[in-house]
């Protein structure tokens, strides 16, 4: 199937997604032809908006939308702890008539630092300062009733995923461990890394029902690599995972022995393309945008060498012909088990690609490119993504503060429509932090409220309005 004619599978509401328009635009971008912005009207133009509960103007929104400010870093929580910084991935749950959010904190240090632990225990690693907090929110007032630390002693908790059985999988985007070694930064600076009490690079499960800190047990069968996000196909009982590594990363799946007991073990695999061993899907113009996928086994999901080599698991997949991506980030499943995931810096512009994997049984499936930004002013480095509970609009958080690498400094939540157009929904205008990424996009289970974080200085926003007013023209 060529670039001009690809049509993709079903989305959350069962609507056929046809992204042929973006195929043509991507082709035009590659030939340096003039491009018009493929813009949908969406909810209308954005304007700086005062929050309903504090009066601050932290984001720009369309007319008719409002928001509350919640869970600010540095504020005191119900359990007596101070709200940690670096708000990142999260998910919303409905429990006992309340909305519960389990929220990551991407606190990362290359070497242990004293005084960074969140919560008072139990901790997985007393030398690591990452983890999660849980927010119990009144669905009428959209204000916090209680908040507390729910996971501690982990490292660089970036994204994760919501399980079908009511828990959050929090992922560590690092593989640092006990081994101390030297690494060279992009600017040539040599620094020490490692020296932690425990190995890192795992997934941890946090039940939404937990009312305090959970026992932090790494899910070792799901692999030790720079985990980003997890999405669950509950029809075929498979978990899919992205790897945020640079300049190469892989797309994984985990076939658990028991779907709702991930700790019981299973099989870790990495995506490959049939008859195209080690295909490079990072930046090159693709001759095809749809591929027959296959899966290759990872023999050692938890290698000790990951202490000093974050690609230790990835290299096993490469040895078996797995596909190459650049920097995989957000991952989300629709109701039919189709998996959307993003390569944040993929494509010819290095502004991002969005992929769709459609399973065909449990053994294989189809991998399709459904979006490549032709201009980084349209979408620049998508990260966390989500679909609303109904409908097929893909909400994408940008992490685009890379002006020195050809990107933009503004960060938005953009919406990708089923016709291949892009609409703006949120812009970060937080004074002094306008370049901070937006993260953790998630809807309340009833679809009424959209939650998102401004990572720095660390604040959660609850946004609501007339969701039915969206226009694609």
Q: Would you state the pLDDT for residue 473?
A: 84
SS3 sequence, the chain? CCCCCCCEEECCCCCEECCHHHHHHHHHHHCCCCCCCCECCECCCEEEEECCCCCCEEEEEECCCEEEEECCCCCECCCCCECCCCEEEEEEEEECCEEEEEEEECCCCCCCCCCCCCCCCCCCCCCCCEEEEEEEECCCCCCEEEEEEEEEEECCEEEEEECCCCEEEEEECCCCCCCCEEEECCCCCEEEECCCCCCCCCEEEEECCCCCCCCCCCCHHHCCCCEEEEEEECCCCEEEEEECCCCCECEEEEEECCCCCHHHCEEEEEEEECCCCCCECCCCCCCCCEEEEEEEECCCCCCHHHHCCCCHHHHHHHHCCECEECCEEEEEECCCCCEEEEECCCCCCCCCEEEEEEEECCCEEEEEEEEECCCCCCCCCEEEEECCCCCCCEEEEECCCCHHHCCCCCCEEEEECCCCCEEEEEEECCCCCCCCCEEEEEECCCCCCEEEEECCCCEEEEEECCHHHCECC
Instruction: Establish if 2 belongs to a structural domain.
Output: no
Instruction: Establish if 71 belongs to a structural domain.
Output: yes
Per-residue confidence at 30, pLDDT binned at 50, 70, 90? very low
What CATH number did the domain enclosing 119 receive? 2.120.10.30
Residues 105-114: what's their mean pLDDT? 91
Instruction: Establish if 101 belongs to a structural domain.
Output: yes
**Lowest-confidence pick of 249-253, 254-258, 403-407:** 403-407
Instruction: Establish if 341 belongs to a structural domain.
Output: yes
**Higher-scoring residue by pLDDT: 154, 24:** 154
Instruction: Establish if 102 belongs to a structural domain.
Output: yes
* Single pTM value for the model: 0.92
Instruction: Establish if 271 belongs to a structural domain.
Output: yes
Tally of domains in the chain: 1
Instruction: Establish if 1 belongs to a structural domain.
Output: no
User: pLDDT tens digit string along 18-28?
Assistant: 344 444 434 43
User: pLDDT tens digit string along 39-96?
Assistant: 899 999 999 999 999 999 999 999 999 999 999 999 999 999 999 999 999 999 999 9
Instruction: Establish if 3 belongs to a structural domain.
Output: no
Percent of the chain whose pLDDT exceeds 70: 92
Domain of 429, in residue numbers: 8-469
């Amino acid at each position: 199937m060529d670039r001009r004619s690809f049509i993709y599978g079903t989305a959350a509401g069962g609507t056929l997604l046809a992204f042929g328009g973006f195929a043509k635009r991507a082709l035009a971008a590659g030939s340096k032809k003039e491009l018009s912005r493929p813009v949908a009207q969406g909810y209308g133009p954005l304007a700086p908006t005062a929050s309903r509960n504090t009066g601050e103007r932290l984001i720009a929104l369309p007319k008719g939308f409002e928001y509350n400010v919640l869970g600010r870093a540095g504020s005191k929580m119900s359990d007596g702890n101070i709200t940690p910084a670096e708000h990142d991935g999260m998910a919303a749950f409905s429990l006992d008539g309340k909305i519960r959010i389990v929220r990551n904190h991407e606190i990362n240090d290359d070497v242990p630092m004293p005084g960074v632990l969140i919560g008072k225990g139990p901790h997985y690693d007393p030398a690591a300062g990452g983890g999660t907090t849980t927010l119990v929110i009144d669905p009428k007032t959209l204000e916090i009733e209680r908040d507390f630390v729910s996971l501690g002693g982990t490292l660089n908790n970036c994204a994760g995923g919501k399980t079908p059985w009511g828990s959050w999988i929090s992922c560590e985007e690092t593989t640092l461990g006990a081994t101390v070694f030297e690494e060279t930064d992009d600017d040539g600076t040599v620094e020490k890394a490692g020296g932690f009490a425990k190995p890192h690079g795992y997934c941890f499960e946090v039940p939404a029902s937990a009312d305090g800190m959970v026992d932090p047990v790494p899910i070792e069968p799901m692999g030790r690599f720079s985990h980003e996000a997890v999405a669950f196909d509950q029809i075929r009982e498979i978990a899919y995972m992205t790897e945020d590594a640079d300049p190469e990363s892989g797309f994984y799946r985990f076939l658990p022995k028991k779907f709702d007991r991930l700790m019981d073990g299973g099989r870790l695999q990495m995506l490959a393309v049939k008859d195209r061993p080690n295909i490079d899907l990072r930046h090159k113009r693709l001759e095809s945008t749809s591929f027959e996928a296959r899966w290759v086994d990872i023999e050692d999901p938890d290698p000790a060498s990951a202490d000093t080599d974050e690609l230790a698991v990835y290299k096993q997949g490469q040895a078996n012909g797995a596909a190459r991506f650049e920097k995989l980030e957000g991952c989300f499943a629709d109701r039919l088990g189709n998996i959307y995931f993003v390569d944040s810096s993929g494509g010819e512009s290095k502004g991002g690609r969005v992929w769709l994997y459609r399973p065909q049984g449990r053994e294989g499936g189809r991998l399709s490119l459904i979006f490549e930004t032709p201009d980084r002013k349209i979408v620049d480095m998508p990260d966390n993504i989500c679909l609303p509970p109904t409908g097929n609009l893909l909400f994408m958080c940008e992490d685009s503060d890379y002006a020195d690498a050809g990107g933009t400094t503004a960060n938005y939540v953009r919406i990708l429509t089923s016709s291949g157009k892009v609409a703006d929904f949120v812009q970060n205008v937080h004074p002094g932090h306008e370049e901070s990424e937006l993260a953790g996009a998630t809807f309340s289970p009833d679809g009424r409220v959209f939650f998102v974080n401004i990572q720095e200085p660390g604040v959660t926003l609850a946004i609501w309005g007339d969701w039915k007013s969206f226009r694609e023209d």
